[in-house]
Amino acid sequence: MPLQHPGTETHRLHRMNFITPLLRWRALGALVILTATCMAGCGGGSPASTTVDSNLIQPLGLSAERVAVGDRLFNEVALSAGGSQSCASCHVKSRGHADAAGVFLPLGGPALDRQGLRSSPSLHYMNDNAAFVLNAGPGPRGGFTWDGRADDRAAQALGPLLAANEMAQPDEAAVVRAVRSLPYYSELAVAYSLPADASDAQVLQATQLALQAYQAGDVDYQPYTSKFDAVQTGQASFTAQEQRGLALFNDPQRGNCASCHSSTPPPGEALPLFTNFGYFALGVPRNVSTATADPAFFDMGLCGPMRTDLSHRTDLCGMFKVPTLRNVALTAPYFHNGVMATLEEAVAFYATRDSDPARWYPTVGGVVQRFNDLPPAYRGNVTQQAPFGPATPGGPRLSPQDVQDIVSFLGTLTDGFTP
Ligand code: HEC
Ligand code: HEC
């Protein structure tokens, strides 16, 4: 494989020492570190090095140079209008590339004082996600963002660069000006063979592709180093509580979590991703800290208003993408609107949404406002699939102890476990 980058690559063989036969097919190539030279303006969190998963280079049409310059762009505050926000501000490496610690919903805009509508999802384990399809047999599938409106990560990257409450550039020309002024613009030009007189459209496209290449090819994004993975390869074993949690997670009559957060690998992968990239309306409670701005506003996911092409499909209102649960212990707050601060709460919501709705929704005039983050006309779209739905005789499908056990199991999905 053409992975030569003169003088800078190091083979990280130690990473392969614990890769067992099940995983070996993923590790046929070596991992390569590119050390990005710090030129003139090495501020703003420029990364020191980029580790490329070389298995991904060929199938995804990447190159090590593209991944490395994408890493720099991802961490580049000069790409924002206010000069102080990068992609990494909201997608924090130590948190599965999801929300920054203590952030309820992300702040952005030139002065970093405009609140976002949705929680920043983890960017990990997305290489098997494809463009959005409306009728994929079992229902809508795929796409990027909570409502799938971007077909790939290159298209998605333009969203935050131009969003008024994110990096807030006024237009594409302003993004291109910022990119051309970077001290390492030449790295982008070389990686994407841009001519000296590259057009704005070419520079913009190269920027988007580099950001995509980084997320697709950097080893941080799909490391498969959780305790769960170690157990699959015989390097570790679950505690009794984690084992109980996994059984509940998989049991169709109990947690039934795996029916949406798949615990079996997709075609072509050795290990599961804990999402099927499908869409469901869970009826999560309204996040009043954002809703107070406009009580008439509803974020309804697939049917809009952020996404505009399915506004006539009222049967899809309230549906959001099933997120991966890998690294979920690191990615609080939870659900698209960030309404749950802890993982315990998020799992307890599944257990008692229907048996104890007053715990989750406000009561007005003696009536519990179930599914209050959707207009009443669309509340019928909310799923009744287990673990929701009619309580089994004797109460909810999951007891408080079951919730604790599932949370304990979810903790095994955090990468960076050392057997
Ligand atoms: C102000 C915070 C913020 C910044 C800055 C930001 N993001 Fe995001 N990111 C979000 C939020 C919030 C979402 C969910 C958006 C939605 O559903 O509409 C998201 C979604 C995504 C997704 C889709 C993930 C999925 O699950 O489908 C990708 C990919 C992504 N961002 C990459 C980037 C890149 C690349 C940049 C820099 C160009 C960036 N983000 C900058 C907050 C941010
Ligand atoms: C019917 C499909 C379905 C089932 C069953 C299901 N989930 Fe989910 N899950 C989703 C969807 C869709 C979302 C995003 C919903 C939203 O934000 O509005 C989600 C979100 C989550 C989140 C928040 C993740 C984040 O990054 O914000 C957690 C945690 C979670 N699920 C855990 C579980 C557990 C544990 C179970 C089993 C008890 C389970 N889920 C069962 C579809 C499902």
Q: Which ligand is nearest to the CA of 107?
A: 1
Mean pLDDT of 327-334: 94
pLDDT of 44 reads 39
- List the structure tokens of 265: 């690998």
179 Cα to the center of ligand 2, angstroms: 38
Q: Does any ligand 1 atom lie closer than 6 A to the CB of residue 96?
A: no
Cα 195 to ligand 2 centre (Å): 46
Q: What is the mean pLDDT of residues 188-202?
A: 95
Mean pLDDT of 349-369: 95
CB neighbours of 231 closer than 8 A, spacing ≥ 6? 237, 238, 412
Q: Do the Cβ atoms of 196 and 220 come closer than 8 Å?
A: no
Contact 318, 358 (CB under 8 A): no
Q: Which residues contact 389 (CB under 8 A, 6 or more apart)?
A: 354
Per-residue pLDDT for 3 more than 60? no
Confidence of residue 137 (pLDDT cuts 50, 70, 90): confident
The pLDDT of residue 53 is: 66
Please state which of the ranges 2-6, 108-112, 307-311 shows the lowest mean pLDDT: 2-6
Contacts of 201 (CB under 8 A, 6+ apart): none
For ligand 2, say whether the CB of 260 is within 6 Å of any of its atoms: yes
What's the whole-number average pLDDT of the chain? 85
385 to each of 117, 138, 280, how far by Cα in Å?
Answer: 27, 14, 10
For residue 160, which ligand has an atom nearest its CA? Answer: 1
227-259: pLDDT as tens digits: 999 999 999 999 999 999 999 999 999 999 999
- Give residue 102's pLDDT band: very low, low, confident or very high (50, 70, 90): low
pLDDT at 24 exceeding the cut of 80? no
Q: How far is the CA of 121 from the centre of ligand 1 (A)?
A: 7
Q: Whose CA is nearest to atom 6 of ligand 1?
A: 87
Which-ligand-closest: CA of 336? 2
Distance 240 CA to ligand 2 centre (A): 24
Give Cα separations from 134 to 138, 147, 298, 319, 404 (angstroms). 10, 11, 22, 12, 36
Residue 133's pLDDT is what?
96
Whose C-alpha lies nearest to ligand 2, atom 42?
A: 322
Inter-CA distances, 334 with 65, 201, 377, Å: 35, 37, 25
Cα(116) to centroid of ligand 2, in Å? 21
Ligand 2 atom with least separation from CA of 278: 12
Residue environment code for 330-368, b if the CB has 16+ CB neighbours within 10 A, otherwise e = bbbbbbbbbbbeebebbbbbbbbbbeebeebbeeeeeee
List pLDDT tens digits, range 278-313. Answer: 999 999 999 987 655 688 899 999 999 999 999 999
Closest ligand 1 atom to residue 148 Cα is 27
Task: Determine contact, residues 314/303, Cβ cutoff 8 Å.
Answer: yes
Average pLDDT for residues 306-334, to the nearest whole number? 96
Residues 104-121, mean pLDDT to the nearest whole number: 84
Q: How many Å lie between the centroid of ligand 2 and the Cα of residue 386?
A: 12
Residue 268 has pLDDT above 80, yes or no: yes
